[in-house]
Amino acid sequence: MYLPKLKLILQLGLVFLSIFVVYRVWQAFDLNQRYQRFSQAIFSLQSTQVKPVPTPKSPYRYPPIKELLLRELTSTWNLKDTYALRACSLDGLVFANNSTQAKNQTGWLQLQYQLDLINGLFDCLQRRELDPALELKISDLLRHKRSQLPIYWNNFLVTEPALINQWQVSGLRYDKQRYYSKFPIDSLAVLSALKTYVLSAELPIAYNETSVLQTLYTLDGKAYLSPLISDLQLALIWLPTLNNQLKQVTNCPSSKQDLIYGILSRYFTQGTQLELARLDTALNQVISPLQRIYFETTHEAQITQLIRQKNQLHGFLKVHVQQWQRLISLCDGKK
C-alpha cells in the first residue's frame, strides 16, 4: 500500500531535482541572457523591412525587380551545384560573391558578378572534358543564370537612377593647377562588359538584344563618352605641365626621401596617381567594346579622338616615369 505512494514521491522528487539542476545550469552558463539576445536578434531580423527602391523618371518600364532579385539571391547553392562549380574552378567566385555582404552591394557589382559567373560556366563547357552528368548539370546552371540576367540588368538601372546625372554633373575639380576628376569608372566598366557580352555571337542571351543596345546607346549619348574625353583632356594638360616642372629639378636635396616627399607634396594631390591609373584602366575597358558598337556611327569621330588622346597620354606617362627615374638617380648613394 505504501509502495506505490513511495514510488510516486520518488518520481516527483526526481522531476523537481531535474528542474532544479536545469535551472542552476541555466543560471551558471548565462543561458537566459543568451536566449534573450537570440530572441531579440531573430525578432529584429523578422521585423526588418526592405526599403523600396525609388523608381527613376524614365520611359522604361521595369519588372518587379525587388521581388525577383530577392527570390534569386536567397536561393542557395545545393551540394550538386557546388560540386559542379568546383569542377569549373568557380566555387571561390560563388562563395566570395554570394555572401550577404555581396548581395547588398550596388547593382553594377551584382551584374558584373553574374557576367563573370556566366562566362566562367561557358568557358568550362567549351574547354574542359567533363563527365556527361556533370556537363548536363553545368549546362542547367548556365541556362538558369542566363535566364536571370535580365533581373540584374534591370536592377542595375533601377538601383542607380542617378547614373546619367552622375556623369552630367560630376564636375571636374581644379586645385592649384592640379587637375583630377571624379566619375563612376565602375559603372563604365560594367557597361562595357555588358556590351561585350551582348555583342558576343557565342553567348546568346534571354532578352531582346536590340532593346539593350538602344538603352546603352541612350546612356552613352550624353553621359558615357563626354566625361571620359573631358578627363582625358585634363590629364593631357596636367601631365605635360608636371613633367616640365619635374625637369627643372636638377639637384638632390639632403636625402632621397626629402626629394620624393617634396615632389609628392608639391606637385601631386592625394590620389592623383591613382586617378591616372584608373583613367588608363577605364580607357582600356571602354575603347574596345565601343569600337564594336559604334563602328560607322555618329560616335566614330569621338572614338577616333579617344584612341588618339589615349596614345598621347601613354606617351606622357612614359616621359613621366623617365623623369622619376632621373630624379631618383640624382640621389644615388643617399638615403
Query: Whole-angstrom Cα distance, residue 3 to residue 19?
Result: 24
Is residue 10's pLDDT more than 80?
Answer: no
CA dihedral 241, 245, 248, 252 (to 10 degrees): -150
- My answer on whether 196 and 141 are in the same domain is no
Q: Any idea what DSSP says for residue 248? A: T
Record the pTM: 0.37
Average pLDDT for residues 3-19, to the nearest whole number? 72
Cα distance between residue 48 and residue 42, in whole Å: 10
Max mean pLDDT among 85-99, 130-144, 240-254 falls in 130-144
Q: Does residue 286 sit within a domain?
A: yes
Among all chains, which residue has been given the C-alpha cell 592623383?
Answer: 272
Whether 123 and 225 share a structural domain: no
Last residue within a domain, chosen from 161, 182, 208: 161
Count the neighbouring beta carbons within 10 Å of the beta carbon of residue 275: 19
Angle at 159 between CA 54 and CA 205, to 5 degrees: 130
Residues 138 and 260 in one domain: no
Answer with the one of 123, 143, 161 that is the final residue of a domain.
161
Could you tell me if residue 85 is inside a domain? yes
**How sure is the predictor about 320, in pLDDT bands with cuts at 50, 70 and 90?**
confident
Same-domain status, 190 and 264: yes
Verify that 155 and 248 share a domain, yes or no. Answer: no
Judge if 174 and 213 occupy the same domain.
Answer: yes
**pLDDT for position 286:** 60
> pLDDT band at 91, cuts 50/70/90?
low
Residues 93 and 205 in one domain: no
- Indicate whether 137 belongs to any domain: yes
How many structural domains compose the chain?
2
Average pLDDT over residues 314-318: 80
Residues 282 and 194 in one domain: yes
State percent of the chain over pLDDT 70. 32
Q: Is the residue at 27 inside a domain?
A: no
CB-based burial label for 112 (10 Å; 0-12, 13-18, 19+)? buried
**Residue 16 domain-assigned (yes or no):** no
* Same structural domain, 207 and 129: no
Identify whether residues 270 and 140 lie together within a single domain.
Answer: no
User: Residues 229, 265: one domain?
Assistant: yes
Q: CA–CA separation, 102 vs 116, rounded Å?
A: 14
Residue 297 inside a domain? The answer is: yes
Mean pLDDT, residues 329-335 taken together: 68
**What residue numbers bound the domain in which 318 lies?**
170-330
Tell me if 147 is assigned to some domain: yes
Whether 22 is covered by a domain: the verdict is no
What 3-state DSSP class applies to 183?
Answer: coil
DSSP class of residue 75 equals P
Indicate the residue among 161, 185, 218 that finishes a domain: 161
Q: What is the torsional sign of CA 286, 92, 95, 64?
A: positive
- One domain for residues 194 and 322: yes
pLDDT, average across residues 292-311: 65
